[in-house]
Amino acid sequence: MKKAVYYGPKDVRVEKVEEPEPQAGQAKVKVKYCGLCGSDLHEYLHGPFPISPFGHEVCGEIVELGPEVEGFQVGDRVNAFQKDGYAEYMVAPQERLLKLPDSVSWERAAMLEPLAGAAYAIERGGVKSDDTVLIAGAGPVGLLVLLGVKLLGVETVYITDISESRRRIAKELGASAVFNPAELKIPPKMKELTGGQGVDVAIEAVGIEATLKDCLASTRYRGTVIIQGIFTEKVPVHMLGFVTREMTMIGTNSINSALALDWIENKGIEPEKIVTSIIPLDQISANGFEALAADKEKNIKILIEP
């Protein structure tokens, strides 16, 4: 079978390898889609990324069961929160599988893992329906948080991004207003829009200094800043405002797949709307990683179809 093998930065090769055999407690999955995650892009560009395994946003169909697997059958449609999903087949331990209802399309199913990250962040951050929310960054993380807070009933959600097309999609997905931080200072704008108070909750969805500072400076007295962006560099931050405004800062890096599945199955959330292309495995470097790194206007979420 074909598999994308990671050799190092900018060196991912699609090779012919043996199909994996399911061991005790494992299922073999024929991969339908594997979503290209920001953590995988980081690994492709800069080197191994310890937090998230390479190729983990997988959906597909069980084709074989190892011994001692309970509750799953050959033919089940599943999500697999497991590495090595950039391949025609993968094996995953049963505790990392989630059975999908037939009603859920493969495209929507492929978005379950990143959506589950957004669900977790919103829950951990304690976002309430009457909060005014700022999301800094309209990449996959920010846009999925936007869908989640809208579903929660939040009426006022502002979102920022330097990319025009990402701002446009944010607007289409229900953002109250979108702003370009390259053209406008975000904190005074947020104060202006909230009667001088600042937003109740700001969500950092990029992982860089500018968006973190915007979040900290845009949030009200005793407000909350949720950090979901992956920071790969140190950022100098002045903490005086944080202290004097008695703010709360929350880091978030897990998933709530049960909540995301409920959103997908019962609440009609449409995370597949941020998918900008579906490409074959052979093109994973050129039209996957390289395209995503080079053109953030055109590409938001890319799915690999092995």
Task: Tell me which residues touch Zn ion (CB under 5 A).
Answer: 37, 57
Nearer to Zn ion, 38 or 198 (CB): 38
**Residue 232 parent element (H or E):** none
Nearer to Zn ion, 57 or 200 (CB): 57
Half-sphere exposure at residue 19, Cβ-oriented, CA atoms within 13 angstroms: 12
CB–CB of 134/203 below 8 Å? yes
Place of tokens 């893992």: 113
Q: CA torsion sign, 27 to 282 to 109 to 149?
A: positive
Min. distance of Cβ 218 from Zn ion in angstroms?
27
Q: How far is Cα 170 from Cα 177, in angstroms, rounded to an integer?
A: 9
Min. distance of Cβ 53 from Zn ion in angstroms?
9
Place of tokens 């330097």: 162
Min. distance of Cβ 139 from Zn ion in angstroms?
12
Nearer to Zn ion, 187 or 288 (CB): 288
Place of tokens 């944010």: 170
CB–CB of 76/85 below 8 Å? no
Min. distance of Cβ 111 from Zn ion in angstroms?
10
Nearer to Zn ion, 131 or 204 (CB): 204
**Which residues neighbour 231 within 8 Å (Cβ) at sequence distance 6 or greater?**
207, 208, 212
CB–CB of 3/86 below 8 Å? yes
Min. distance of Cβ 275 from Zn ion in angstroms?
14
Nearer to Zn ion, 117 or 187 (CB): 117
Give the CB-nearest residue to Zn ion. 37
